[in-house]
Amino acid sequence: MTNYDYIILGAGASGLMLAYRMSQDTFFDDKSVLIIDWIQDKGNDRTWCFWEEGDGEWDHLLTKTWSNIYFGSDHYSKTIAISPYRYKMIRSSGFYEFLWKSIHAKPNFTFLVRSVSSFKETNNGVEVIAQERENEFGPVINKFTYKGKKLFTSLNTFEDFNFQKKYPVIKQHFLGWFVNTKKDAFDDSAATFMDFSVPQKGSTRFMYVLPMDKRTALFEYTLFSEKLLKRSDYEDAISRYLENKGVYDFEIIENEIGSIPMTAFKFHELNSEHILNIGTAGGWTKASTGYTFKSTTRKTKELVDFLKKENDLSKFHKKSKFWFYDLIFLDVLANHNDEGAALFSSMFKKAKIKTIFRFLDEESSLLEDFKIIRSVPPKRFIQAFLKRLF
């Protein structure tokens, strides 16, 4: 079969979550769905965290939750109780497995191990060219053409936002070690949200720590900047941080590395009647923080409802005041990256945590927005605002 109702390119979080929601909705039982990716079993390639009030959809898959977070810097340090929220952690392996179980149970869903070479919109749908290889970068064995009515792609479109100057592009890049100690070494009652006590070196740098128990924790060295570092630079920073915490005898049991684009680039303008960009490629990543998982949970629900009522995918996007807030924040961070620690410290010191979370979740009222705006140093934001205005 080469003709499908829906084609999903990429079996990561956004693509699989969308396919899962379709598999759970009887509306799609008579629709054919094709998923294409080079790898099906991606394992623990991602660690996702998000804050949430009460019980949630993915609670049965959680690795760990925290009722407290720690924020640290030279300007302000505090362990903060986040009730009624909890900070929740999911490892990708169990998450993928759960989604695939539901998807595979539906005979109208097909998964193919292919590398996508191109896709395009046609008069009445889409066309995808995919390749079969011995390995991801090996010689092409066969080429295939697949046609569909609608296409959802999470394949990154780096050239679209990296080669434009209108909107800043900052990378949130990180390397993490999952470490294990023989003796109790960690306080697992609080997750370290941001610890700016590491040397800033002219850019926004912090340590992110997720203690899963008293002997196991993820230490992630994270930067907001334009350029990546050498791998050894990340690893040296984590080693020094562990030493400063008195942790010397440990084993690295897993590594995690990544780079998330933070930009207010209008990804939705790349959408069309038959093609919708999803996940990070669709602008679903919160531009000012790099958080994606909770947004993807919400967006995939909205998309399934949309597909049951509408036919033009270019109409899926909705305008929001938060896009402009993110744009101004990124303008400040791009032009004054060395002031990131002071900016975040001021916000966490002056605003209530519930207000911050509601603002970052894009659920805040105008009054709450004003409280956040008042909590940050005004000079840089006024300059950025006036520059965008005029």
What pLDDT was estimated at residue 82? 98
Q: pLDDT for 102-131, tens place per residue?
A: 999 999 999 999 999 999 999 999 999 999
The values of phi and psi at residue 197, to 5°, are -70, -10
CATH class in words for 3-45+91-161+264-315: alpha beta
Q: State residue 94's pLDDT score.
A: 95
- Write the DSSP assignment of 220-260 as a string of letters: EEEEEESSPPPHHHHHHHHHHHHHHTT--SEEEEEEEEEEE
User: What's the mean pLDDT in 69-96?
Assistant: 96
Farthest-apart Cα atoms in the chain, separation: 64
Q: What is the Cα–Cα distance from 150 to 5, expressed in whole angstroms?
A: 6
Token couple for 259: 């780079």
Residue 43: predicted pLDDT = 86
Band of pLDDT at residue 157, cut at 50, 70 and 90: low
Please report which confidence band the pLDDT of residue 7 belongs to, taking 50, 70 and 90 as the band edges. Answer: very high
Low-confidence winner among 158-167, 174-183, 212-221, 345-354 (lowest mean pLDDT) = 158-167
* CA 7 – CA 193 distance, rounded (Å): 37
Q: Where are the extended beta strands (E) located within the chain? A: 3-9, 33-37, 47-53, 64-66, 68-72, 78-81, 85-91, 109-113, 115-121, 126-133, 140-153, 169-181, 190-195, 204-211, 216-225, 250-263, 275-277
Classify the phi-psi angles of 71: left when phi > 0, otherwise alpha if psi is within -120 to 50, otherwise beta: beta
Rounded Cα distance between 363 and 325, Å, is 13
pLDDT band at 262 (very low <50, low <70, confident <90, very high): very high
The Cα 190–Cα 178 span in angstroms is 16
> Poorest-confidence range of 32-46, 111-125, 130-144, 346-360?
130-144
User: What one-letter code names the amino acid at 97?
Assistant: E
Q: Residue 387 in contact with residue 328, Cβ under 8 Å?
A: no
Q: Is the pLDDT of residue 160 over 80?
A: no
CA-angle at 263, arms to 272 and 74, nearest 5°: 160
Are the C-beta atoms of 23 and 35 separated by less than 8 Å?
no
Q: How much is the pLDDT for 41?
A: 85
| Band (158; pLDDT cuts 50, 70, 90) | low
Averaged pLDDT for residues 242-259: 95
Task: Let me know if domain 168-261 sits in CATH 3.40.50.1110.
Answer: no
Averaged pLDDT, 169-196: 96
pLDDT beyond 90 at 183: yes
Q: What sign for the dihedral angle of Cα 347, 353, 359, 364? A: negative
Does residue 61 register a pLDDT over 90?
yes
Phi-psi label, residue 290: left if phi above 0, alpha if psi -120 to 50, beta otherwise: left
Over the chain, what is the mean pLDDT?
A: 94
Asked if pLDDT for residue 255 goes beyond 70, the answer is yes
How far CA 65 is from CA of 50, 97, 99, 193, in Å, comes to 10, 20, 21, 13
Residue-level pLDDT at 330: 95
Instruction: Say whether pLDDT at 382 is over 70.
Output: yes
* Model confidence, pTM: 0.93
| Per-residue pLDDT at 138 exceeds 90 | no
Condensed to tens digits (0 to 9), the pLDDT of residues 268-322 reads 999 999 999 999 999 999 999 999 999 999 999 999 999 999 999 999 999 999 9
> Which segment, 149-153, 289-293, 384-388, is predicted with the most confidence on average?
149-153
Q: Please tell me whether the peptide bond between 84 and the residue prior to it is cis, using omega within 30 degrees of 0.
A: yes
Residue 226 has pLDDT above 90, yes or no: no
Q: Give the separation between CA 204 and CA 224, rounded to whole angstroms.
A: 5
What percentage of the chain has pLDDT greater than the value 90? 85
Rounded alpha-carbon distances, angstroms, from residue 113 to 104, 116, 117: 14, 10, 13
Q: What is the dihedral of CA 304, 308, 310, 312, to 10 degrees?
A: 60
